[in-house]
Structure 1
Amino acid sequence: MSQVQPRVRMPDALVILFFITLIAGLVAWWVPAGSFTTEKVGEREVVIADSFEYRSDGFARPLFAEGGEMGLANAPFEGLVAGSKWGSAVGVIAFILLVGGSFGMILRTKAIENGILALIQRTQKLDQVFLVLMFLLFSLGGAIFGMGEEAIAFCLVLLPVLRTLGYDAVTTVLITYVATQIGFATSWMNPFSVAIAQGIADVPLLSGAGYRGLLWVVFTGFGLFFTLRYAKRIRVPAEQPQRAADGALANPYNGVDSAILCAFVAGLVWVIWGVTTRAYYIPEIATQFLVMGLVCGIIALIGRRLTANDLADAFKEGAKDLLPAALIVGFAKGLVLLLGGDDPTAPSVLNTILHHASGFIGDFSTAVSAVLMLVFQSVFNFFIASGSGQAALTMPLMAPLADLVGVTRQVAVLAFQLGDGLTNIIIPTSASLIGCLGAVKLDWGDWVRTIWRFQLGLLLLSVLAMLIAVWIGFN
């Protein structure tokens, strides 16, 4: 009798980051660091394209460093404490842990679960209209105001809903985070990507909206087709509410559930209002979800559903479930710091790579150069996953390079958008992606195994979009 061979597992994201960090340490030894000079243009610091110079100061990377300096072994710690509360590593890590703990309390009340079961009992099923509506809304969120990290919280919200309807964790990430990144990559008005890139490239702000709007329709349609096809394939019949001997629901929906769900919905409305009208970001959103969790927990206390210790345990359990995601965010930032960081004026291997890549791209024909711009932005996004940060670092070089190779600067901006946004769906250095996967308890390797064909399809669509943009003289 033949033995069934165990399935080969994709290495964990932490394992992959470990080996990439080792390689980065070797690269930091052998590739000379360089820097650019910046100048003030309005309120923004812009890199001067021809200002690159090699630097020998301040870039030694020993195995172990003292006095707070960077060494290979120091990378994980330095990555975990890098940045500020407004973003980068430490802010995103705090956001992930706080939101995870808050949802731990909300889910422990069982109100969401009881509400879903009651809904299923009354409607029997919810068809694919729900998936379509969610995907379109999140894609619009990415296109209009750059929704990204916010999807982590919505993954926590929608996971129990979709599981009860028969869908899985992958479906949850597809209709939330993946949808936001498709909208982000094809946006015609996102102030955090296209507007910044156009400003640096000296292109009229929010110009080219017609072609970008068409791309949004095409890419969103492709993403929606993949999502519905996947969801149909993996869906299992929705679980019906268990009934007691007398025919009543075993876990009846009652007034406590209604009060908790009303507070929960009011909290979500507060979050959406804050993001869209007050430009709330990581510090405010994390605090809003903490307040939401506490209010729902207090209602459960008053209703004698939970004790104070139950809520404390739920908060710790929820934060613990997202700890691996928080660690990956910090380790990925440490990898970037090991290469010198993303400051164009500081000695950095990334600056040297950027300088030589821009020169290499200029040696090819117009169409090939445009596609290579897309490929370069996609690869560079592994190290600088921030849209605004990547725009500030790469566009001052890509814009004049576009003039040299004979494509419009609008095409260079489009290469940045597509390369930056779409690769966020798969790279393990994206804090938002890792946060969403942690929220639904999905291993990064399993995610890659499911999504790689879709990612390849997005790349082919992006190449086609770039070639058409060159052909029509997109401007």
Structure 2
Amino acid sequence: MKTTPQGTVEIKSPSSMGSGSHPLVVLLFILLLAGVLTYLFESGSYQRKDGLVIPGSYQTIPKDNSLMELFGTVADNPAGTASPVGLVDLLLAVPEGLQKGGGLIFMVLVIGGLFGILSKSGAVDAGLERLLSAVRGNVYWLVSCLMLIFALGSTLLGLASEYLLIIPLMVELARRLGMSNLIGLAIVTVAVKVGYLSSITNPLPLTIAQPLLGLPIFSGAGLRAVFFAIYLLVGIGFMLWVIKRAGFTKGADLALETKPLSPCHFIMLITLLIGIGGLVYASNHWQWEKQQLTAYYIALSLFLAVQSGLGANEAAEAFVSGMKKILMASFLIGVAFAIAITLQNGKVLDSVVHSLVSFIGEDNRYIAALGMFGTQLVLDVLIPSTSGQAAVTMPIMGPVGQLSGVAPQTTVLAFLFGNGITNMITPTSGTLLAYLATAQVGWSQWARFILPLVAIFILLACVMLMTAVYIGY
């Protein structure tokens, strides 16, 4: 940290937060790897009923692995057969992924436009000045409180994509303190992932996973609440360490403005807060999907544009400018969907699940619990959807847990830990990529930053699972 001639404080970002490989290169490499996997793994499928896997129903599907399939397409396969994904199908998977992820992509673009209007009006900078003045520059206290609020929203209500609207605010907060976008992104992302790790009453995983194992929905919340508190303390401690390492010192002179907000900025910020509250209510009570959420963001953008005092043309230019900043990153969401499509076209997803489950031991319940956790860690790369992973794995893991002496609640816990930890870093997660796009942070940059915390969380999860097995949870 150093003081500029003007008296303000300049805080250097950690040197480890370089840009690294372009995220498009990373995702295209993973897409190519997915295509290779369709050659290496046998094709097979489980039977399903109402979208859920039927345990013990796995069957292999005949497949021709010859190199000639490189130039064929899966559309030409006779019924009941499979083939590896060729070059044509790899290319077709990208536009198909863009179409499949269109709802999320357009939502992210509109949010970028919304904050383009807020930034152009100066409301964000003015609001953050007042917020930092209110806490007297104690950023450690502010970050801790914000992470607690975000984590509670995710662990109790399942909030995740709703926080896309918050990320630009946290990014601007980090910039105001002289730190990188990465730290602003992490304040939200670490808190959200901590909430999903334990999911005290998170309806997204629990309403699917627990009934499949014969458990009442939201049962066993007491121990999950204890684990949530532990994860949150570690997550907050990690973020405070990062902020201190970046050079910020408690009580530093931030040259904060103390003048009151202008009426225009005050009205815009109040509108934004009310808009966020309405968003949370609508998502949980009316189960809005991405289409309704995007329409909501457009309406909020129009309200803010009218209040900003900008002319119609200037507001439109600000909106488009905000969208342009995240256009390339939004394209990556479509490529991530293309990876899942490739694995589905090659019919190897169920084969991977079947192979991983066969490695889970049945002779020792501690080893079995850790085996289920490790399996969920790997499967989350291929099935990043929380509800989707629950629907595929819980009907299989339940009987495995029973055979090995692992209680159903612990089986659910292994799923929550595996899904939550991998979702912190996997480049196939549309939600994570949307977060990165909104914050304008590259995936490789994020991966280097978050990997130490991922390793710590994996160790904590192993200890917690063995504890749960020991007490018969």
Fold match (TM-score > 0.5)? yes
Change in Cα spacing, 1:98 to 1:449, as seen in structure 2 (3 Å) is same
Choose which of 36, 59, 63 in structure 1 pairs with 2:46. 36
Per-residue deviation, residues 80-116 of structure 1 (Å, max 9, x unmatched): 112xxxxxx2221121112111221222111221233
**Within 5 Å, which residues of 2 pair with 1:456-475?**
456-474=455-473
Q: CA deviation at 1:184?
A: 1.0
Letter in 2 for 1:135: M
How far apart are the structure 2 equivalents of 1:438 and 1:226?
23
Partner of 1:379: 378
Q: 1:50 offset after TM fit, Å?
A: 0.8
Does residue 31 of structure 2 align to residue 27 of structure 1?
Answer: no
**Where does residue 440 of structure 2 map in the other structure?**
441
The Cα shift of 1:408 comes to 1.5
1:245 corresponds to:
none
Is 1:72 the equivalent of 2:90?
yes
d(CA) in 1 for partners of 2:216, 2:272: 42
Distance 2:69 2:465 in 1: 39
2:424 is the counterpart of 1:412: no
Q: Partner of 1:398 in structure 2?
A: 397
1:3 corresponds to: none
Aligned-partner Cα distance in 2 for 1:67–1:105: 45
Aligned to 1:86: none
The residue correspondences of 1:35-434 to structure 2 (distance < 5 A) are: 35-40=45-50, 45-56=51-62, 62-63=70-71, 65=73, 71-82=89-100, 89-117=101-129, 124-236=136-248, 239-240=254-255, 253-300=261-308, 303=309, 306-340=310-344, 348-362=347-361, 365-434=364-433
275-284 vs 174-183, which moves further: 275-284
Counterpart of 2:453 in structure 1: which amino acid? Answer: F
Letter in 2 for 1:103: F
**Coordinate RMSD, CA, aligned:** 2.8
Give the partner amino acid of 2:59: E
Contact 1:121–1:240 (CA<8 Å) still a contact in 2?
no
CA distance in 1, matches of 2:289, 2:159: 10
Maintained 8 Å contact 2:359/2:371: no
Q: 1:159 to 1:64 in 2, by over 3 A?
A: farther
Q: How far apart, CA to CA, are the structure 2 residues paired with 1:65 and 1:35?
A: 19
How far 1:414 moved relative to its partner? 0.8
- How far is the alpha carbon of 1:123 from its aligned partner? 6.6
Q: 1:48 to 1:61 in 2, by over 3 A?
A: farther
On the 8 A contact 1:146/1:192 being kept in 2, the answer is yes
Q: Distance in 2 between matches of 1:189 and 1:212?
A: 9
What residue identity is the alignment partner of 1:268?
I
Q: CA separation in 1, counterparts of 2:273 and 2:343?
A: 44
Decide whether the 8 Å contact of 1:21 with 1:335 is kept in 2: yes
What's the CA shift for 1:121? 6.1
- Range moving further from structure 2, 90-99 or 257-266: 257-266
Matched residue of 2:60: which SS? strand
TM-score by length of 1: 0.86
Distance 1:272 1:61, change over 3 A: farther
Residues in 2 aligned to 1:193 and 1:187: alpha-carbon distance in whole angstroms = 8
CA distance in 2, matches of 1:29, 1:314: 48
Render the CA deviation track for 1:62-81: whole Å, top value 9, x for unaligned: 45749899712222112111
Give the TM-score normalised by the residue count of structure 2. 0.86
Structure with a larger share of its residues in helix: 2
The alpha-carbon distance between structure 1 residues 208 and 58, as it changes in their structure 2 partners (threshold 3 A), is farther
- In the TM superposition, residue 178 of structure 1 has moved relative to its aligned partner by 1.6
The 2-side partners of 1:230 and 1:281 are apart by 35
Instruction: Identify the residue that residue 454 of structure 1 maps to in structure 2.
Output: 453
Shift of 1:352: 0.8
Q: Distance in 2 between matches of 1:387 and 1:63?
A: 34
Task: Give the SS at the match of 1:427.
Answer: coil
User: 1: CA distance between counterparts of 2:133 and 2:201?
Assistant: 42
Which sits farther off after the overlay, 277-286 or 207-216? 277-286
Task: Work out the CA distance in 2 between the residues paired with 1:414 and 1:61.
Answer: 41
CA distance in 2: counterparts of 1:256 and 1:30, whole angstroms? 61
| % identical equivalent positions | 28
Task: Determine helix, strand or coil for the equivalent of 1:275.
Answer: helix
Tell me, what secondary structure is at the counterpart of 2:199? Answer: coil
Distance 1:357 1:339 in 2: 16
SS at match of 1:360: coil
Say which is worse superposed, 16-25 or 217-226, in terms of deviation: 16-25
C-alpha distance 7-325 of structure 1, shift in aligned 2 (>3 A)? closer
Match of 2:44, SS state, is: strand
Q: State the Cα deviation string for residues 190-249 of structure 1 (Å, max 9, x = none).
A: 11102311111222322221211111111111111111121222254565368xxxxx98
- The one-letter amino acid paired with 2:454 is Q
C-alpha contact (below 8 Å) 1:411/1:470 kept by paired residues: yes
Contact 2:362 2:403 in 1 (8 A): no
Query: Which has the larger displacement, 125-134 or 225-234?
Result: 125-134
Name whichever of 109-118 and 311-320 sits farther off.
Answer: 109-118
Q: Deviations over 1:363-402 (max 9, x none)?
A: 6632112111111101110111110000001111111111
Corresponding residue SS for 2:358: helix
